[in-house]
Amino acid sequence: MIYLYFLIFYKTSLIHRGKSYELKEQFPYQLFIFFATLKIIIILFILSFCFASTVHAKGKLKNAYVEWQAVQGAVEYRVEVKNSKNKIIIKKKTKKTKLDLKITPGDYKYRVGIVNKFYSVFAWSKWEKLSIISAKRHKPYHHIGIEGGYHLMMTPIDNSYSGYGGGGLFYEIHALFKKAPSIFFGISASYFQFIFPNSDFGISWMVIGSLYIGYEFKFNFSKTFFIRLSPVISGKYYYREHLYNGTTYYGYRPILSAGFHVSYDLSESLLLTLKIEYDVILDVTPIQTISFYGRIAYRFQ
């Protein structure tokens, strides 16, 4: 391949300089254009490949440093770093007791030589391990789970019902923002049945959809026991059907809600949560409820 490149460069250069009319006759003008174009393409390809390789290699380099105790009488220090194949890849001199390195992730060893006033190394340290680890990329994680609970009515409506209970599904995304990993967002959908004192009030049910945002605080009580406390605000919307004396009545209203979640990690993947919220149903006369939920979630990335 190298010989072919040389031949192309040599022939096109001779033709271009006009030093050989015989070559010009053997290689007509169209062929000269072909080889000249091919030469330009090869040059651009080689340059672009070299540039891409340089940028790619530069992107892998990590900042690291080695540090050691000062030695009395040392004029300077020499540092050597070798890779996992025992090949020395870095040799540096410094008068400080710290040396900054730019190196790719991996396992290395290094040693420090002490240089005396005659500028010769009179002692080397032992080879010490040096591990360069790539920082983990920021990745959001997710919760998906089921919940169940009860809403206690705080605003009586002709004492027709005391509350409603039910449950549903929810999904949350955590650590979406690298600079604010404690913020999380969630969505839920639940089904509820109203609790009436007797059957004379008919049958009533509703579904509630919710979008919410929260901020997680973590409290460590020991190395193995901690809880998560998360204030949450949400916007909800419900759709309700009420069957009474053979007639079905429909209703739908927005709900504003605020509360907090208290969570405990059962394992790395399972999370148990108690959710307490205060809801205001935005009706002509606002209806207030307090809700208590139990949740279990599966955490994954």
Do the beta carbons of residue 139 and residue 161 sit within 8 Å?
A: no
| Domain contains 42 | no
In this structure, the answer to whether residues 110 and 164 fall within a common structural domain is no
Domain presence at residue 85: yes
Considering only residues 262 and 59, tell me which one the structure prediction assigns the higher pLDDT: 262
Residue 55 pLDDT exceeds 70: no
Residue of 268 and 136 predicted with greater confidence: 268
Same domain, 184 and 125: no
Total domain count, the chain:
3
Report the range of poorest mean pLDDT among 40-54, 70-84, 184-198: 40-54
Out of 143-147, 207-211, 285-289, which region has the weakest mean confidence (pLDDT)? 285-289
49 pLDDT above the threshold of 70: no
**Which pLDDT does position 47 carry in this prediction?**
44
**Mean pLDDT score, 213-224:** 86
Of residues 194 and 20, which shows the higher confidence score? 194
Question: Residues 114, 162: one domain?
Answer: no
How far is 176 from 69, CA to CA, in rounded Å? 43
Q: Are residues 150 and 283 in the same domain?
A: yes
The rounded mean pLDDT for the chain is: 79
Q: What is residue 47's three-state secondary structure?
A: helix
Say yes or no: 166 and 274 in one domain.
yes
Read off the pLDDT band of 103 (50, 70, 90): confident
Higher-pLDDT residue of 137 and 270 is 270
| Element spanning 189, H or E | strand 183-195
User: For position 70, what pLDDT does the model report?
Assistant: 87
Which of 46, 109, 99, 101 shows the shortest CA–CA distance to 76? 99
Contact 289, 154 (CB under 8 A): yes
Same domain flag for 89 and 156: no
Number of H helices and E strands in the chain, helices first, is 3, 16
- Rounded to whole angstroms, the Cα distance separating 131 from 275 reads 44
Domain-terminating residue out of 84, 106, 132: 132
| 89 and 32 housed in the same domain | no
Which is more confidently placed, 294 or 12? 294
The CATH number given to whatever domain includes residue 95 is 2.60.40.10
pLDDT band (50, 70, 90) for residue 237: very high
193 touches 165 (CB < 8 A): yes
Please tell me whether residues 71 and 120 are part of one structural domain.
Answer: yes
Q: Are residues 83 and 202 in the same domain?
A: no
Encode 196-214: b = buried (16+ Cβ within 10 Å), e = exposed. eeeeeebebebbbebebeb
* Bridge partners, residue 6, by sequence: none
Where among 132, 151, 184 does a domain terminate? 132
**Quick check: is 56 in a domain?**
no
Domain-located, residue 41: no
Let me know if residue 44 belongs to a domain: no
Domain residues for 240?
A: 141-300
Region 109-135: what's the mean pLDDT?
86
CA dihedral 121→127→128→132, nearest 10 degrees, is 100
pLDDT at 198 > cutoff 70:
no
Residue 140: in which H helix or E strand, if any? none
DSSP character at residue 125: P
Choose the weakest-confidence range: 37-46, 76-85, 230-239, 291-300. 37-46
- 12 and 99, same domain (yes or no): no
For residues 220 and 263, membership in a common domain is answered with: yes
Report if residue 43 sits inside a domain. Answer: no
221: in domain: yes
**Are 116 and 181 members of one domain?**
no
CATH code: domain of residue 267: 2.40.160.20
Q: Would residue 167 count as lying in a domain?
A: yes
